[in-house]
Amino acid sequence: MKTIYKKLSFLLLLLPFCVLAQNTFSGKVLDKVSGQPIPGVNINVQGSTTGASTDFDGKFQLSNVKKGDMVVFSFVGYKSQTVEFNAQQSITISLEEDASQLKEVVIQVGYGTVKKKDATGAVTTLTTKDFNKGPVSSADQMIQGKVAGLQIINGGGSPGQGAVIRIRSGSSLSANNDPLFVVDGLPVAAGGVQGGKNPLSTINQNDIESITVLKDASATAIYGSRASNGVIIITTKKGKAGDLKVTYNGNIQVSDIVDQVDTLTPSQFRDIVNTRGNATQQGLMGQANTDWQDEIFRTAIGTDNNISLTGGQDNLVYRASVGYANLNGILKRDNMERSTININLVGNFLDKHLKIELNNNSSLINSNYSNTGAIGSAIRFDPTQAVRNPDGTFFQWYNSPTEINQLAGRNPVSLIEQFNNLGTSFRSIGNIQTEYKMHFLPELKAVANFGYDEMSGTGKGNTAADYLNGLPGSGYNNTYSNTESRNNKLMDLYLNYNKKVESMNTQFDVTGGYSYQDFKDSRTSSNYTFENNTTTEGLFTPTRVNLQSFFARANVTIADKYLLTLSYRRDGTSRFTEENRWGNFPAVALAWKLNEEGFLKDVTSISTLKLRGGWGITGQQDIGVSYPSIPLYLASNSTAQYQLGNTFYTTYRPQPYNSNLKWEETSTVNAGIDFGFLNNRITGSADVYRRITSDLLLYTQNPSFFGFSNYDNYNVGTIDNKGIELALDLVPVKTDNLEWRIGGNITFQNSEITKLTTVLDDTPGINVGGYAGGTGNTIQNHQVGYAPNSFYVYEQAYGADAKPIDGVYIDRNKDGVINEQDKYRFHKAAADVFYGLNTSLVYKNWDMSMVWRGSWGNFNYNNVDSNAGNYQEILLRNTDLINGVANVLETNFSSQDAKRYESDYYIQDASFIKLDNIGVGYTFNQKPNSTSLVKLTLSAQNVLVITDYTGIDPEISGGIDNNLYPRPIIYTLGLNVNF
């Protein structure tokens, strides 16, 4: 220690000599237009490592500068300036904004950021100006149709309804195909919670600054586990230094139903019963004419309001926002009430060496789920019956005044009015991230990120006392309650070294670290049966899954032209046994910035031209269950006991397990080109990729007489996904008053199963895809050489009049018998091509935008028609009547052969083009140089669908169309005020 003191004091003595030989350069940097100081401007002395940056007031002080040194001032978004040092006392530099650089978006790539122009992977970033406008209430709605390779299909039109999100088709069969969501650096748990809604709706859309989609392995490999299906990084808005700014965003929305299922009209129904039914059935008809779908749907109104405050002093900036939304769905009683709070604090201490960032997104959602069973019931309920009897009670089918008809359907309006299904869920995602730039080595930075994701929810409900007149077996006065609580923790620790080695003209950005994630889930459920006065508790075991990993990445930039990224990640999961626990996920990517090359550098019309190529391996282990690899015994609950002697015993069953389960691995090869011409008036990218997933995790059949059940999880095979993504953005017109942008993206995709190991040759493969009308029967199939989830159906025979012949199918293998060996694979649900087109026009204070979306090559199984399009279904029993669909009048099907459900007649082309969003906005007179504004917008969502599909909506994830909650058209009037 003492020697260090001696050296220090010696150095101190030397200082005066330094001063004599060199000078201090100080001054101020301002924005040329506004005259405001710019903090954080980089100041470098050319040819040396000396550097500094401006402080909060734009002031700087640079030491060790020699006369004649060239000093470069640079900052993102501004044109750099170079000044020769001539021992000026103090200097004021005015930096001018660089229009072309404004497109320099900084994107999140996991444990760091890069500029878009330096990214080596297939990455797309959307910011506030790119997001879909209108009645969006969750992150997935903001980017639908905007990113090549990203397909988002929501589950239906209920507010807060979840969506199925796929990046490049998803790579698994039974394992989770969802991409990984990262919110402010915290990978969040997949899925929601009891009593909740779409987990993405827990983040208020007004708080989102940018969404980055990482598509290929070189981008996602740094997230290793959980990243096989791509990564979507959501970054919330941060504070801006300066005076307090208040922003208000609010809207009022009106939703209306667009299309209904074509059921038989009352007169068509009467005709059928009178011609084909027997006397008893004709006597069951009523006198009314009821449109049951009209009875359960309504026009719905909703509001969504959000206020945010941002400001900051010195080194502490903050942003806080509060939001409240009350959205009603078009199904009666369907309602979601959401309150959100978002807080963000960023502090810079120790002379900008220590940065602490605190984020918190919390939300409370109260839902009234209504009863979605009413949607299916409305299609099948007798249209000749009135909603209510003359005495005010609901019409229902009874065998006698004292006995309910156990098999008949239930009055759809009574399902909504006489059942309560409510939910409350709370979610809080928060993290604190500290970044410390070492004082002795400013290029080295240590980052620690501690985060949590807590969700808890309760779903409960009850049945009315007078449901089915309170008769035995009706379930009246029964109640249920399900609770769930999930606690997830994250810790990331890493070091980052970022240095430019001038001698090699190379920038090194190296990161290495450790990540720990822990997921806990516990739930309870109880059901109270009023008639027996008993409460039955559900069986649950609290689960815990733990993931740990070690990761490292190096970004090497040579001469600002050649980019290389190498990354490696080693992940361990608690789901698998120790032998299979760890997976290794490397990735390599190269990029060449052609426009920086000598021969292109001076071609001004080319602003960006970058070739990229990458390879990497990512892993997947999320198969839903937490303990698939260890032997467990499961207890029975109180209603599944068995009596031996005089005692009822709880029984214990050994659970199926597979100790050989291991990581599913996807290896991706991606090649792409990013381009920008004419000062970025034309920008775009093209990507070609191939992803091969091996050791696919699949819940599949055991051989008979082996295994504790007939199904278990295995690593079974390989899938090959290929695709091409193209994106283009044009600004054809750009003047002072008028700007017209048009952009589009198109994705071509193809998936094929190339290996299945638990399926032997010459066998039909693995059957999946259950449907209504045949419990336990399936309509889809996985087999080698075909797309996953291909429809597996009988070939319908047609007559000379091109009408299908009832109950007759083609004997494809010509063995004289029509059985399962005559089934064949006919199309699939996944699209071959999907695309999006958006355009916006800004003229003075007006702006207009439109978003189109489409898909081609996707087919649906019309389960509504297959289940209800048959005369036998209508006249099934003598105790009650069931409505059918209009399709029965076309086909005249009446055969009861169960094969009819699986006829290829019901596999229908569902290609579509949708006008998803159209909007107009007006910004009231905005003062120049002022950030305050008042803007009014009017928009409509789900405006138009062009399709040949005969069901109510062609866009169904998974391709099985059955009782979809219809998607409404939503008109929105919005107001945005910045104070």
What is the C-alpha R_g of the chain? 32
Q: How far is residue 394's CA from residue 387's CA, in Å, rounded to a whole number?
A: 6
Closest by CA to 558, choosing from 216, 118, 122, 220, is 118
Binding flag, residue 759, another protein (CB under 8 A): yes
Binding flag, residue 10, another protein (CB under 8 A): no
571, 516 contact by CB (below 8 A) = no
> Of 600 and 898, which CB lies nearer to another protein in the complex structure?
898
> Of 57 and 820, which CB lies nearer to another protein in the complex structure?
820
Q: Looking only at residues 474 through 503 of this chain, which bind another protein when binding is defined by CB under 8 A?
A: 474-475, 493
3-state SS class at 886:
coil
Out of 66, 388, 544, 935, point to the residue binding another protein (CB under 8 A). 544
Q: How far is residue 326's CA from residue 336's CA, in Å, rounded to a whole number?
A: 6
DSSP per-residue string spanning 283-332 = HH--S----HHHHHB--EEEEEEEEEEEEEETTEEEEEEEEEEEEE-SBT
Closest by CA to 178, choosing from 139, 205, 132, is 139
Interface characters, 407-426, with another protein (x: CB under 8 A): x-------------------
668, 689 contact by CB (below 8 A) = yes
Instruction: Provide, rounded to whole angstroms, the least separation between the CB of residue 291 and another protein.
Output: 27
- Residue 604's identity, in one-letter code, is T
Phi, psi of 600 (to 5 degrees): -115, -10
Binding flag, residue 776, another protein (CB under 8 A): yes
Out of 7, 67, 601, 653, point to the residue binding another protein (CB under 8 A). 653
Instruction: Provide, rounded to whole angstroms, the least separation between the CB of residue 125 and another protein.
Output: 33
Out of 314, 820, 890, 948, point to the residue binding another protein (CB under 8 A). 820
> Of 423 and 572, which CB lies nearer to another protein in the complex structure?
572
Q: Looking only at residues 519 through 538 of this chain, which bind another protein when binding is defined by CB under 8 A?
A: 522, 529, 531-532, 534, 536, 538
Binding flag, residue 9, another protein (CB under 8 A): no
Window of 113-121, 312-320, 400-408, 858-866 that interacts with another protein by CB under 8 A? 400-408
Interface characters, 68-107, with another protein (x: CB under 8 A): ----------------------------------------
779, 767 contact by CB (below 8 A) = no
Instruction: Provide, rounded to whole angstroms, the least separation between the CB of residue 270 and another protein.
Output: 22
> Of 11 and 99, which CB lies nearer to another protein in the complex structure?
11
Window of 28-36, 438-446, 585-593, 609-617 that interacts with another protein by CB under 8 A? 438-446
Instruction: Provide, rounded to whole angstroms, the least separation between the CB of residue 448 and another protein.
Output: 9
Out of 627, 786, 856, 971, point to the residue binding another protein (CB under 8 A). 627
Q: How far is CA 399 from CA 114, 175, 382, 468, in A?
A: 71, 46, 16, 12
Binding flag, residue 324, another protein (CB under 8 A): no
Binding flag, residue 708, another protein (CB under 8 A): yes
> Of 134 and 765, which CB lies nearer to another protein in the complex structure?
765
Binding flag, residue 440, another protein (CB under 8 A): yes
Binding flag, residue 924, another protein (CB under 8 A): no
What's the chain's length in residues?
A: 979
Q: How far is residue 797's CA from residue 818's CA, in Å, rounded to a whole number?
A: 12
Instruction: Provide, rounded to whole angstroms, the least separation between the CB of residue 899 and another protein.
Output: 9
- Residue 357's identity, in one-letter code, is E
Q: Which residues of 437-455 are buried (b: 16+ CB within 10 A; e: fewer)?
A: beeeeeebbebebbbbbbb
259, 315 contact by CB (below 8 A) = no
Binding flag, residue 584, another protein (CB under 8 A): no
Binding flag, residue 464, another protein (CB under 8 A): no
> Of 59 and 352, which CB lies nearer to another protein in the complex structure?
352
Instruction: Provide, rounded to whole angstroms, the least separation between the CB of residue 710 and another protein.
Output: 5
Closest by CA to 947, choosing from 839, 886, 856, is 856
Q: How far is residue 875's CA from residue 883's CA, in Å, rounded to a whole number?
A: 9
Structure-token pair, residue 961:
């169309």
Binding flag, residue 774, another protein (CB under 8 A): yes
Interface characters, 232-271, with another protein (x: CB under 8 A): ----------------------------------------
Count residues near another protein (CB under 8 A). Answer: 103
951, 909 contact by CB (below 8 A) = no
Interface characters, 780-819, with another protein (x: CB under 8 A): ---------------------------------------x
> Of 300 and 547, which CB lies nearer to another protein in the complex structure?
547
What is the torsional sign of CA 699, 703, 704, 709?
A: negative
Q: Which residues of 9-26 are buried (b: 16+ CB within 10 A; e: fewer)?
A: eeeeeeeeeeeeebbebb
Q: Looking only at residues 859 through 878 of this chain, which bind another protein when binding is defined by CB under 8 A?
A: 872, 876-878
Strands 506-529 and 81-84 come out as: unpaired
73, 80 contact by CB (below 8 A) = yes
